[in-house]
Amino acid sequence: MIEYRDVSKLYSEENIALIEVNIKIKSGEFVSIVGQSGMGKSSLLKLLTLEERPTEGRVIFNGVDLNEITKKEIPIHRRRIGVIFQDFKLLPQRTAFENVSFALEVAGEKPSKIKKSVSQILDIVGLSDKFKAYPVQLSGGEQQRVAIARALVNHPEVLIADEPTGNLDVINGREIIDLLLKINELGTTIILATHDKETVNRINKRVIVMDEGRVIRDQAKGKYMI
Amino acid sequence: MLRLSIIRAIKSGVNNFFRNGWLSITSVSVVSLTLFVISFLMSIVFVSNKLFTEIRNKIGVNVYLNEKADKEIASQMMEEISLMGGVTEVEYTDKKEALTSFKQKVKENDIIIQAIDELRENPLEDFISIKVKDPRKYEIIEGKLITGEFKDYILKVDYSEHKTEINNLDKILSSVTKAGLILIVFLVFVAVMVVLNSIRLTMYTHKIEIEIMRLVGAGNWFIKLPFITEGALYGLAASILVTLSLYPLAILLASALENSGLQLNPILLLNQTIIFAFLIHLLIGIALGIFSSYVAIQRYLRI
Ligand SMILES: Nc1ncnc2c1ncn2[C@@H]1O[C@H](COP(=O)(O)OP(=O)(O)OP(=O)(O)O)[C@@H](O)[C@H]1O
Ligand SMILES: [Mg+2]
């Protein structure tokens, strides 16, 4: 479903983020990408959301070469992919409900459908009693749940999580990982970037290790090792 | 679907306008200040034009006739004058009428009245007063009269006395108008820069918002429209504010002009022009707001 073919990314002559990366991800997989800071994890994910373009090689998504996607088509492409981040990226002036409904408004959905989908998804992430809360009134874990709900409300085939537990304490972090596992069981492909050992070991699924922009290990049921 | 998106984007722009209270107040103030200055300059040009026309209308040229000219000759002259281009008024006053109105004018002053009464003969002459649309015409008319067939009946044309006044007035008027227009153009340019930069600053606080919009797959127009709506609202609010603020100003001006003897009523003038003024403010304000927002947001839309 997702394939990186000989992908290299250079931000400048000396600033090399990715070197000849080859990765294949099947639909329904849960893939953890690990590696120390600055090793190219985020860069890898940004090529998928088209925040960055590869310097060389190609990224294939559902049979489509992303190099072929024009600037105008990027918004449509992004609606097929859910993204969450370390810093949640919620709109502070909108309630939990509004933050999630926003992703559907952007896609031009009808109000009746928005109401139904958003309530449903907020139930799934366990926030049925926080619809009207603003981000500042929510804990870090709850904010990340809102972000997950927003990422999922468009029913994307893949959810990208870049360091989703980075700002959370251990308990909240575990809860978020468990939620991601549950979402994966329901059929969504998940790509997670992290440098947290405990997280990776808890998941106990495929692990790809990055070092200086290269893939140095790719194991089906891996532990975190460097 | 498209219409739904447009309505949503506009709604969100309106919401942002009220949610970002301080940013809105700042932007509205800057736009208001601009409109106010433009409005002020336009009023100066407008009022001075009006004042000058009024003064110009008061000035006329009198052609004084000598003993040889009787009523018959006078009416022939009047006909000839009225056939000259641009003449708006020709009026004959005989010396008796002239004396009565002069006496009327100085009736408080016993000494003058007494002096006039002691004279056996009327010291005044019959005269024809002329008014024209364009004061530059006076010279031509004067020339035609003193060289024409009636030259023997003319005692004098008292034009020369007003000549410099009229010419100066004209010069002042055209330079005030020119300077006003140049200033307005210059100010609009400065205003665009100021508004642009202040909206650009406020836009910085929207940076994260725009980033998030892009990440959830919002199209460029869906991102732009709320900001453009907000910009238009800055213009709308500012134009209402500035138009209303003209009233206290007009009242102030009215009390300042009260004893000046000028035939100018700022409040009445404002009442007559208020809708026009509002439309102009609205047009400039909204154009300014939309243009600035549009340019300011453009730099956050790369990728
Ligand atoms: N926008 C950018 N412009 C220039 N260089 C960049 C940019 N983004 C990343 N880099 C560089 O690319 C390299 C890889 O960065 P990347 O963010 O992919 O690492 P990472 O593995 O996600 O690190 P972390 O764990 O700290 O998030 C780094 O050397 C970084 O400095
Ligand atoms: Mg990173």
B109: pLDDT confidence band, cut at 50, 70 and 90?
A: confident
- The per-residue pLDDT for B163 is 61
What letter represents residue A156's amino acid? P
CB contact under 8 A, B217 and A79: yes
Looking at CATH, the fold of the domain delimited by B60-134 is given as Alpha-Beta Plaits (3.30.70)
Does residue B134 surpass a pLDDT of 90? Answer: no
In contact, A194 and A169? CB cutoff 8 Å: no
B260: pLDDT confidence band, cut at 50, 70 and 90?
A: low
Query: Is residue A201 assigned to a domain?
Result: no
Its domain, for residue A116, covers: 91-154
Residue B51 to residue A63: CA distance in whole angstroms: 78
What letter represents residue A52's amino acid? E
In contact, B41 and B180? CB cutoff 8 Å: yes
Helix (H, G, I), strand (E, B) or coil at B206: coil
Outline where DSSP puts E strands in chain B. Answer: 61-65, 87-93, 127-132, 154-158
- The per-residue pLDDT for A7 is 95
Query: Is residue A131 assigned to a domain?
Result: yes
- The per-residue pLDDT for B61 is 79
Name the least confident of A46-60, B57-71, B273-287: B57-71
Residue A27 to residue A2: CA distance in whole angstroms: 8
| Average pLDDT over all residues of chain A | 92
> Does ligand 1 lie within 6 Å of residue A39's CB atom?
yes
In contact, B23 and B144? CB cutoff 8 Å: no
Query: Is residue A101 assigned to a domain?
Result: yes
Q: Which residues of A touch B212 (CB under 8 A)?
A: 89-91
CA–centroid distance, residue A83 to ligand 2 (Å)? 13
What letter represents residue B26's amino acid? T
Mutate to test the pocket of ligand 1, among A14, A42, A165 (most ligand atoms within 8 A of CB): A42
Write out pLDDT tens, residues A168-185.
Answer: 998 999 999 999 999 999
| Residue listed under structure tokens 């090793």 | A39
B291 CB neighbour count, 10 Å cutoff:
17
Query: Is residue A7 assigned to a domain?
Result: no
Scan residues 192-211 of B and list those with Cβ closer than 8 Å to A: 208-209, 211
B102: pLDDT confidence band, cut at 50, 70 and 90?
A: confident
- Domain boundary assignment for chain B: 2-55+168-298, 60-134
Q: A154: which 2 tokens?
A: 């468009």
Q: Which residues contact B206 (CB under 8 A, 6 or more apart)?
A: B227, B300
Backbone angles phi, psi at B154, to 5 degrees: -95, 125
3-state secondary structure B107-173: CCCHHHHHHHHHCCCCCCCCEEEEEECCCCHHHHHHHHHHHCCCHHHEEEEECHHHHHHHHHHHHHH
B56: pLDDT confidence band, cut at 50, 70 and 90?
A: low
> Who wins on pLDDT, B289 or B139?
B289
Q: Pick the ligand that lies closest to the CA of residue A40.
A: 1
Q: Which residues contact A93 (CB under 8 A, 6 or more apart)?
A: A134, B19
Q: Structurally, how many domains does chain A consist of?
A: 1
> Who wins on pLDDT, A4 or B166?
A4
